[in-house]
Amino acid sequence: MKGDINEKLLWNAEEEERVRNGGRDETLKEKIWRETKKMWVVAAPAIFTRFSTFGINVISQAFVGHVGPTELAGYALVYTVLFRFANGILLGMASALETLCGQAYGAKQYHMLGVYLQRSWIVLFICSICLLPIFIFATPILKALGQEDSIAEMAGTIARWSIPVVFSFIPSFTCQMFLQAQSKNMIIAYLAAFSLSIHVLLSWLLTVKCKYGIPGAMISTILAFWIPNIGQLAFVICGGCPETWKGFSFLAFKDLWPIIKLSLSSGAMLCLELWYNTILVLLTGNMVNAEVAIDALSICLNIDGWEMMISFGFLAAASVRVSNELGGGSSKGAKFSILNIVLTSFTVGLVLFIFFLSFRGRLAYIFTESSEVAAAVADLSPLLACSILLNSIQPVLSGVAVGAGWQSIVAYVNITCYYLVGIPVGVVLGYVLNMQVKGVWIGMLLGTFVQTIVLSIITYRTDWDKQVSIAKKRINKWFVEPDQPGANPQNL
């Protein structure tokens, strides 16, 4: 059986394309066109989905902001601190599926994906239970971190409303990565668009029309997160993925420790990145005129977050394309995919860099009616534009790392760049040199810049032929024929 497996793994994407082209090699133009189509099949729905998902939070924040400034600051704290904390852990741990499912799908071992998905559900559910105390006791935690009492009290109320949202991340992240590996993520985009439309209507109805305030905004938010999850689960379980979903299996409860280890590495990689912004918001909360500072920084981070959704779409494309090519045995295909995605993402980032430099603080009025907050946002706009430009490259390189299975390496890079460079510089500039929020953001930019340089060097110097060999060994180790009696896939 091993001989058959090796033959399957050696039948890579380059040979398949050569057969399709009548035995001739592709021209450069044909390669670019083919790779661009494959990239956008993943990136376009992923970008739209992330825009829609991120839009749920932005819409919630916009409606909450018109309830009152204390409510806006409380929601900003919950979203930028607690949401990012939970989101980072769960999304990071779920991203182990990007490596596993992507490489298995590239190697045509389709039956392995369903067991991976179920194991990830178990791991993320246990993790979500462990996160509950943070949301239940949010108020004393935020007070202990130095936040103002009124803001911390409001944040605690919003945090308790947010608990159902935390559990919604489990099916959301795992199903998205399961479907992305198969380039079947259009269904996710459709569901996200429907959910966003419902959220806008409900937010207006409950918050503005019926004057329910925070409860109205949070009820709409909860429904907006759960509606697409029901659709995704129905699609996966009810026949949308016949090759990769073979039904529920007790095998999902076996050999969990290896997937926990990879999930922890993936979680550490992403958490260290997302928590970086969280720490910056907490630092801002201890400054003079904290309410304006938090509001201005959270608005800028929200705008930056919108652009990050585009970059995360390219991150998903990089992860899927690299893992598929490595699983399929094509080192050249992996390198070509990386170059194509990086250049495309950078071009988009450059256009947005110019756009946000032009509009500056005028975009702040989407989120607030305060001219003082809008002026603070305008002052931060040049730094926001620079951040957007850097974000057009850095997430794509992180996606390459996920596709190749380098999560633990990137975790060490993030610790060094963010926590030994970015945050200390931000503290010195913001507090010692009294540059306030601007100093904190400059520190963030410096950390991101150093990280981008380091990841670029690692990617450039990687032996991709060796990465193909590593992927083949991993798949050989995990492979079990699906129809073999008593089969127990050693998925990790």
Question: What was the pLDDT predicted at 376?
Answer: 75
What percent of the chain has pLDDT above 90?
14
Beta strands in 323-401 (DSSP E): none
- Comparing 440 with 279, the larger pLDDT belongs to 440
Per-residue pLDDT tens over the stretch 105-151: 887 888 888 888 888 898 889 989 998 999 999 889 888 877 788 88
- Helices 186-203 + 163-180 axis angle, to 10: 160
Question: What was the pLDDT predicted at 15?
Answer: 58
> What is the mean predicted confidence (pLDDT) over 285-297?
63
Q: Are 115 and 254 in contact (CB under 8 A)?
A: no
Q: Are 218 and 224 in contact (CB under 8 A)?
A: no
- Tell me: pLDDT of 375 over 90: no
- Comparing 111 with 370, the larger pLDDT belongs to 111
Polymer length of the chain: 492
- Comparing 367 with 97, the larger pLDDT belongs to 97
Q: CA 344 to CA 489: how far, in whole Å?
A: 38
What percent of the chain has pLDDT above 70?
83
Give the chain's largest Cα–Cα span: 71
Question: What is the residue-averaged pLDDT of the chain?
Answer: 80
Structure token digits, residue 205 = 């109805």
Question: What was the pLDDT predicted at 274?
Answer: 64
- Tell me: pLDDT of 292 over 70: no
Spans of all domains in the chain: 47-478
